[in-house]
Structure 1
Amino acid sequence: MQKYELFINPKWLKKLEKDIWVDDHVPAVLKIDENHYAIELSYRGNVIRKKKKKSYHIIFQKPFTVNGAHEIHLNAEFNDISLCRNKLSLDFFDQIGIISPHSKHILLFINRFCKGIYLELESFDQYLLQKRNLPKGPIIYATNYFANFSLLTPENDLKSSLDEGYTIKNGDKNDLASLENLIVMINSFNNDEFEKEILNVLDVEQYFTWLSGVVCTQNFDGFIHNYALYQNSETNLYEITPWDYDGTWGRDLYGRKLEHDYIPITGYNTLTGRLLHFSKFKKLYKSTLSEILEQNFTIETQEPIIEELFQTLLPYISLDPFINLDPVGLKKEQSYMVEFINKRNSYLKQNLDTLI
């Protein structure tokens, strides 16, 4: 496992700790192998900020990019005792053909003190598009659970604006206006208009592949949060990509167990509900999900991946001062995840015929 070392002036550390909710960055130096990089550093995330083991957002300053990235995220994965769910999920989306941030585990030190095992994640931005040789295009983050493609909040209150829950990562206000037009279409077009026009603004097949990934991994927040929208400039269609998937593979974001049938086969958000009103879209989703259940979301495919990842972490778990897990506990968690795949796969297959 690669070693990352952060060097921060104590006064800047105190500034970070003074108010954990402030997103202001402070200067620091990141050492990777024998290379030193000038960076800006801040805390990131929501629930994790209250924990002793924090997550970090890093912006490279000098040089401006490192390995093609201007920003990276170091996730503590504190509520996931396996430290693996986020990576397994994002890699799973990659396997089924969805643009997904790449990730790797690293061992983090801050001012010479070991802070344990972290997950380094790519930022989903224009630099990622460039690295993947993908067309340029606006990128909009779903930053809270108001990003449900609806006119109403999850509490059924009228939203103050159509772009509530969204933040522009790459683009301008015109791109946000285009997203608002999509939300208007979803919520106000009659069935004939919607069935025709949605194909001109959304890559529906890609959307159903993404939906299959969320449904398989059972990310409770994934349908109205934890995603980004990318408007491909060549097709002019929206595509959707996952983000923050630690609450998956049988547990929620707090690490609590979730029953394998907790999330229905259709998931939930207004866009999905509107699409699945039409039989041709139902058939497309059924076909997409069925193929993934046969080829990707299986014990035969995923168990070797899980085993390899757990074996990679095993020699380092004793170095993490924030986790209380031994090899026996890690093995039990591995078995729990494999059991979840088996039960979840069976449950979804049994419900495929509801998609008619």
Structure 2
Amino acid sequence: MKLQKYEIIINPKLLNQLDSDIWADEHVPAVLKIGTNQYTIGLTYRGDLIRKKKKKSYNIVFQKPYLVNGAHEIHLNAEFSDISLCRNKLSLDFFDRIGVTAPHSKHILLYINGVCKGIYLELESFDQYLLQKRNLPRGPIIYATNNRANFSLLTPKKKLKTKLNEGYTVKYGNKTDLSAVEQLVAMTNTLSNEEFENQITTVLDVNEYMRWLAGVVCTQNFDGFIHNYALYQNGETNTFEITPWDYDGTWGRNIHGKRLRYNYIPITGYNTLTARLLYFPQFKGVYRNILASALEMDFTIETQEGIIEELFQSLKPYVHLDPNIEIGAEDLDKEKEFILDFIQKRSDFLKQEMIKLQ
């Protein structure tokens, strides 16, 4: 499969402006060319750790036209710390496969002012336009932007939070929509077991949450339980659904590209909301059935090997064009075997741990 070429044309002074303050989130004007189409855009860097790397990620907002293929905003992820360049896409596609709403993605070849910047992963923005494309009811979308979004009254460093909505940023909606998140956190931490069991389904789509939990546990995203997700409040049911994003630290490696033991993340996850839900046999049973199905049908070598092979074959002709990575076709072949080995070991581990969900 041939990678599509994206070319950004930008005034060099404005490009230098971005480099002079890599943490600025203000977009600068540019033009994006895709094939014979040309779009006026706003451009800025995105992400956290990646802004310090030589290969940075970009955020693009379309200005003229305002929508392109139904999207107003897209992300171009560098995937710099992932030697496979594929873990993010593999993860989000896996979530989509098991029934969790997740951004779609594709690899592209990026040029800026005629200079090849390498292979990037184009990601949908999880926003109101994605809801429209998926025919989902409008509703607030709230991003978990740091690790204080752990559904607890305490920060990961065990300090008492000053606000229940710490760690969250409204992507679509109003600041008042954070009150629903505060309610969810309060219920999770203050209700008695009987009250929690009876009331949690009025604010949370528990079945959808358990599908998401199965996805995080299988792909083993260490940050996924307290970060790297968005909450969407379905406008028809008024309940929260949860969706993943930024899943490059998965499939056997962490966010820095280092190997992560296949049994590093327990089958029960580790955030406060998950712990409370799994206390109840009915919710635990839902999770057990969803995870068992994923381990049988989706998180298998038989299912994933062809997907991984197709992805890697599509990238191999272009890796030598990327000036910021030092990998070749042989490295991708080795990484394919590494991921498949992780799938086998992780799957075997989780099947053995299923007894904890009885």
**Which of 276, 293, 303 is residue 274 of structure 1 equivalent to?**
276
Deviation of residue 329 (structure 1)? 1.1
**Which of 188, 192, 195 is residue 193 of structure 1 equivalent to?**
195
- What is the distance in 2 between the residues matched to 1:10 and 1:307? 39
**Which of 101, 119, 128 is residue 99 of structure 1 equivalent to?**
101
| Matching residue's letter, 2:297 | Q
- What is the distance in 2 between the residues matched to 1:193 and 1:95? 33
Aligned residue-pair number:
356
- What is the distance in 1 between the residues matched to 2:12 and 2:326? 28
Matching of residues 195-344 of structure 1 within 5 Å = 195-344=197-346
Residue in 1 that maps onto 2:46? 44
Deviation of residue 72 (structure 1)? 0.1
Q: Deviations along 1:97-121, whole A, 9 cap, x unmatched?
A: 1000000000000000000000000
- What is the distance in 2 between the residues matched to 1:29 and 1:146? 37
Matching of residues 10-49 of structure 1 within 5 Å = 10-49=12-51
Secondary structure (helix, strand or coil) at the match of 1:124 reads coil
Secondary structure (helix, strand or coil) at the match of 1:117 reads strand
- What is the distance in 1 between the residues matched to 2:353 and 2:5? 45
- Give the structure-1-normalised TM-score: 0.99
RMSD (Å) for aligned C-alpha atoms: 0.6
Residue in 1 that maps onto 2:355? 353
- What is the distance in 2 between the residues matched to 1:309 and 1:173? 40
The ranges of structure 1 where at least 4 consecutive aligned residues each deviate by more than 6 angstroms after the TM superposition are none
Deviation of residue 200 (structure 1)? 0.9
Q: Deviations along 1:19-61, whole A, 9 cap, x unmatched?
A: 1111111100000001110000000001100111110000000
Residue in 1 that maps onto 2:55? 53
- What is the distance in 2 between the residues matched to 1:53 and 1:264? 33
Deviation of residue 355 (structure 1)? 1.0
Q: Deviations along 1:168-199, whole A, 9 cap, x unmatched?
A: 01111221111101111001011110000001
**Which of 159, 170, 173 is residue 157 of structure 1 equivalent to?**
159
Q: Deviations along 1:293-352, whole A, 9 cap, x unmatched?
A: 001100010110000000000110011011111111110000000000000000000000
In structure 2, list runs of 5 or more residues that go unmatched: none
Residue in 1 that maps onto 2:77? 75
- What is the distance in 2 between the residues matched to 1:136 and 1:292? 29
Residue in 2 that maps onto 1:117? 119
| Matching residue's letter, 2:57 | S
- What is the distance in 2 between the residues matched to 1:166 and 1:328? 41
**Which of 150, 168, 177 is residue 166 of structure 1 equivalent to?**
168
Residue in 2 that maps onto 1:180? 182
| Matching residue's letter, 1:302 | Q
Secondary structure (helix, strand or coil) at the match of 1:213 reads helix
Identity across matched positions, percent:
67
In structure 1, list runs of 5 or more residues that go unmatched: none
| Matching residue's letter, 1:68 | G
- What is the distance in 1 between the residues matched to 2:239 and 2:145? 21
Secondary structure (helix, strand or coil) at the match of 2:182 reads helix
- What is the distance in 1 between the residues matched to 2:329 and 2:304? 20
| Matching residue's letter, 2:67 | T
Deviation of residue 285 (structure 1)? 1.0
- What is the distance in 2 between the residues matched to 1:110 and 1:300? 39
| Matching residue's letter, 1:129 | L
Secondary structure (helix, strand or coil) at the match of 2:95 reads helix
| Matching residue's letter, 1:354 | K
Secondary structure (helix, strand or coil) at the match of 2:223 reads coil
Residue in 2 that maps onto 1:147? 149
- Give the structure-2-normalised TM-score: 0.99
- What is the distance in 2 between the residues matched to 1:285 and 1:132? 25
Secondary structure (helix, strand or coil) at the match of 1:14 reads helix
| Matching residue's letter, 1:181 | Q
- What is the distance in 1 between the residues matched to 2:174 and 2:185? 18
- What is the distance in 1 between the residues matched to 2:152 and 2:12? 45
Secondary structure (helix, strand or coil) at the match of 1:221 reads helix
- What is the distance in 1 between the residues matched to 2:125 and 2:274? 26
